[in-house]
A and B are shown apart, each in its own frame.
Chain A
């Protein structure tokens, strides 16, 4: 646990020291701010749905840009040798990296809180959907981070890591839309595995346990795969 926190702290600090996190956060804020300000939902429903709808897609594209360096860069620079020869478990390394990314992503989403704040100042928004929407966005973001860490563990090329992660995320997201074209039973099963299946409920203010369990399971699955991939590199 101590090692996990040490690694998480180091990763969080190096995010603050490198331009990538600022660029990603900056673009994320500009883009979501744009959609928030032009969305009719902002004015007619005093909801943050305009921001949330854009935020989901942007997270799928940007979270991998935050995670791509976490392991691929260590492999490229050879610093992975320091981590793997330190008395630290492989799981502590992966969890530490994940928590570091989670920290920066949470800060990034925290900076968007002025959207609901504006609604509160100038209107009377329903806080339920806002809270639930943020919860959904965080959960989805953490899932994206886990997938990004997994692909980063596979290669020493950061670009490859990011592109593959974005590919997996988009596939998991859009498979839900494809489900409607399939026979009912099959479509329903596939729908359960889709990242997009659970998010609308959160936006409506419904905190569905199935959704929470789904996001946490996918996160855990990919963190587990990342740990295995790191272990595996010792044997190759």
Chain B
């Protein structure tokens, strides 16, 4: 559905996207992840035809974006990061205008406006001026316009920024629902969002793809390195020293009575740790093993890149 090959974009002399390639298959929900200014929005703006790439090829819904941009745009629904809305229009006239530009006929527009207003819970606000709506509702209008023409491909640029937690949860649920019928590329810098909604992640950093895989694979790829967090009542320095002596423990850091133990790949020294602490006469207040979270993967990938250079 989406195919990007050797895509490069310069703004003047500043390199924004550096030779990236990826594919999104039909029916996938792919998370497009990266810190601010990583090149996410630039890539999405090229995918939607808003901008032309400096180099490289882009196909969306089977159309070459460079030579058949109009046909491709017909099949794309786009939620832009800035949530562009005509504030002097009502929700209804705004949706009607955009549906018409996308070639829907009169009857279809009527039914689709009814549909999307229902999906996005905007029924009560349909004849309200967009300028009078709160941020969360504007966000929903933005989503409604993206799906009104039932596009095959949905490109959502940070759809949950700046809205309250209840609406965030609703939006995520909505994206999951949409993913059943559409191909979705979702950009975000909020990590839990990706693990909640996406099947696959593309991590982009400083214009380049730092990693691309399913969330589980990414976690194991980075090394099954386990981390253990414990709380011990005892003299901090001595406890840390004792922990370091245990086989399979790589690094120990602590703050007051909280310790974080990083283990070598494939090792699980929880039993030895417990024993060692009890034998030394200290009391073990808690012990838990922490799975590598998306945050860790992300931080590791984006910071490692920096130290490599």
Contact = CB atoms under 8 A, between A and B. Distances in A.
Interface of A: 2-3, 6-7, 10, 13-14, 17-18, 77-89, 234-236
B154 interface: no
Main secondary structure of the interface of A (DSSP, over half): helix
The 4 closest A-B pairs by CB, nearest first: A78-B82, A78-B84, A79-B84, A87-B73
Given A6-B100, A14-B88, A79-B85, A85 B11 contact: no
B84 A3 contact: no
B194 interface: no
Contacts of B101: 3, 6-7, 83, 86-88
Contact of B50 (A13, A18, A81, A88): A81
A85 B73 contact: yes
B76 interface: yes
A82 B84 contact: yes
Contacts of A89: 70
A86 B84 contact: no
B89 interface: yes
B52 interface: yes
A82 B98 contact: yes
A68 B179 CA distance: 41
Main secondary structure of the interface of B (DSSP, over half): loop
Given A17-B88, A87-B71, A234 B50 contact: yes
A235 B98 CA distance: 24
Interface of B: 11-12, 45, 48-52, 70-71, 73-74, 76, 78, 80, 82-89, 93, 97-98, 100-103, 145
A235 B49 CA distance: 11
Nearest to A233: B51
A78 B85 CA distance: 8
B86 A85 contact: no
Given A77-B84, A77-B85, A81-B50, 5 more contacts: A2-B100, A7-B101, A84-B50, A85-B48, A87-B73
A59 to B, nearest CB: 25
A85 B52 contact: no
Given A86-B101, A234-B50, A79 B78 contact: no
A81 B102 contact: no
A9 to B, nearest CB: 9
Contacts of A235: 51-52
B73 A236 contact: no
A87 B74 contact: yes
Contacts of B45: 81
Contacts of A84: 49-50
A85 B78 contact: yes
Q: Taking each of A10, A14, A17, which has the highest tally of chain B beta carbons within 10 Å of its own beta carbon?
A: A10
A176 B84 CA distance: 44
5 contacts: A3-B101, A81-B50, A83-B101, A86-B101, A234-B51
B76 A85 contact: yes
A92 to B, nearest CB: 9
B80 A81 contact: yes
Nearest to A89: B70
Nearest to B54: A235
A7 B48 CA distance: 20
A25 to B, nearest CB: 18
Contacts of A234: 50-52
Contacts of B86: 14, 77, 79
B80 to A, nearest CB: 5
Contacts of B73: 85-87
Contacts of B11: 236
A7 B101 CA distance: 8
Contacts of B71: 87
Contacts of A82: 80, 84, 98, 145
Contacts of B49: 84-85
Nearest to A14: B88
A85 B78 CA distance: 8
Contacts of B51: 234-235
A13 B86 CA distance: 12
A82 B78 CA distance: 8
A171 B11 CA distance: 34
Contacts of A13: 93
A81 B82 contact: yes
